[in-house]
Amino acid sequence: MARIVMKFGGTSVADLDRIHNVARHVKREVDAGHDVAVVVSAMSGKTNELVGWVKGMPKATGANSPFFDAREYDAIVASGEQITSGLLAIALQSMGVHARSWQGWQIPIRTDNAHGAARIEEIDGSFLIKRFGEGQVAVVAGFQGLSPDNRISTLGRGGSDTSAVAIAAAVKADRCDIYTDVDGVYTTDPRIEPKARRLSKISFEEMLEMASLGAKVLQVRSVELAMVHGVRTFVRSSFEDPDAPGMCDAINPPGTLICNEDEIVEQQVVTGIAYAKDEAQISLRRLADRPGVSAGIFGPLADAGINVDMIVQNISEDGSRTDMTFTVPSADVGRALAVLETVRDTVGFDAVQHDDGMSKVSVIGIGMRSHAGVAATAFKALAEKAINIRAITTSEIKISILIDGPYTELAVRTLHSVYGLDKH
């Protein structure tokens, strides 16, 4: 007998038929004798609709904030999950499964005060463990929690993945099954490269890079949590027949297990290729080369909430002036340039240049730690396709390359093939 947290995303609970299908997946695990807790998202499109309603409201008189009262935003957008948790509990009851819905505040899932993008601070697992003892399937509304001032909070878009992993950690589950509309994590985006393969296993670290760099299967925060708490997380499809043979087994059904690297026996050097489009490059020319310059640039950008990604600074020839290049999301270029103007005199640079429509393509694999020449292979392959490299950054397990946007697909396919990831 195992303890399993099952999470179902928006497309898996999109209508009553699908909710019924989800109930069959849950019943299968219950019948196998497992302790089961379920986490649900809102029906697909519901959260967008709720957010749209909030945005359609007039702002409070005198309010100069660009946004709405975040506490009311949370009270409204958290409601989608309340509906699906209740509907799934009813569907389970109709199949003779002892089930009950629970909202974030009832457990409670305690978060910080950052309404709209709250972080989970504490979940006392004993509430759900007691439900296991009673033979009850707790159906928990994902995405929501309870803030320190006793109000409903939400965890940011896609946050129900994080709810599920945090609950799995709190009840020390053997596994967190994330049911979604794809059957796992692929070596790259199959829409760009049809030869992409499903990975049977991927390490936490690699998955964190894949998710941060554009693979949209899981909320990044959920992968961080899974890594910190060692929650074995299995990404699988809710559209498989719930009663097909082997579906109760953690490894047999199609899917990808995100786990510790020592659980992965056949480690490849490169595991996947990720990409992010719509990056912009900003270069500061002839920048003073002295202590405090980087802080003077990136501090104000951070204060403005602009997410800076790759940063490349050259070593100056004579110790007086240098160049600095970094990337930001294309949508933030205008704001970034405005911030840079305000620091031009204090920081001291001659010119700012910028270019939109860049893409970042990344090669990821923990095998890189112990293999030389991985980067050189990428550069050579891109050169053969006449793809120009604008900037490069690396970490122990990743090489990221900035290129012109129109070459994204070609670069992804080229790298996928050169590292032997194509399916045969």
Applying CB under 6 A, does 180 fall inside the site for ligand ASP? no
CA 39 → CA 14, 51, 269, 280, distances in Å?
15, 21, 35, 37
The tokens for 348 are 């001291």
> 7-26 mask for ligand ASP (x: CB under 6 A)?
--xx----------------
Residue closer to ligand ASP, measured from CB, 21 or 47: 47
Reduced to 3 states, what is the DSSP secondary structure of residue 395? strand
Single-letter amino acid, residue 308 = V
d(CA 260, CA 4) in angstroms, rounded, equals 18
Q: Which stretch binds ligand ASP (CB under 6 A): 40-48, 102-110, 241-249, 383-391?
A: 40-48
d(CA 114, CA 134) in angstroms, rounded, equals 35
d(CA 200, CA 187) in angstroms, rounded, equals 10
Residue closer to Mg ion, measured from CB, 9 or 253: 9
CB 210 within 8 A of CB 274: yes
Q: Which stretch binds Mg ion (CB under 5 A): 97-105, 156-164, 266-274, 377-385?
A: 156-164
Tell me the site size for Mg ion, rule CB under 5 A: 2
Q: Which stretch binds ligand ASP (CB under 6 A): 66-74, 153-161, 312-320, 347-355?
A: 153-161
Q: How many residues belong to the chain?
A: 424
Tell me the site size for ligand ASP, rule CB under 6 A: 13
Q: Which stretch binds ligand ASP (CB under 6 A): 152-160, 224-232, 289-297, 326-334?
A: 152-160
CB within 8 A of 160, min separation 6: which ones?
7, 9, 39, 40, 41, 81, 142, 143
Q: Which of 335, 239, 233, 238 is nearest to 282 (CA)?
A: 335
CB 398 within 8 A of CB 207: no
Q: Which stretch binds ligand ASP (CB under 6 A): 92-100, 158-166, 178-186, 369-377?
A: 158-166
d(CA 399, CA 272) in angstroms, rounded, equals 11
Applying CB under 6 A, does 42 fall inside the site for ligand ASP? yes
Applying CB under 6 A, does 159 fall inside the site for ligand ASP? yes
- Residue 80 binds which entry of Mg ion, ligand ASP, none, CB below 5-8 Å type-dependent: ligand ASP
> 112-151 mask for ligand ASP (x: CB under 6 A)?
------------------------------xx--------
CB 242 within 8 A of CB 24: yes
Cβ at position 163, least distance to ligand ASP in Å:
8
Applying CB under 5 A, does 253 fall inside the site for Mg ion? no
Interacting residue ranges for ligand ASP, rule: CB under 6 A: 9-10, 41-42, 47, 80, 142-143, 157-161
Interacting residue ranges for Mg ion, rule: CB under 5 A: 9, 158
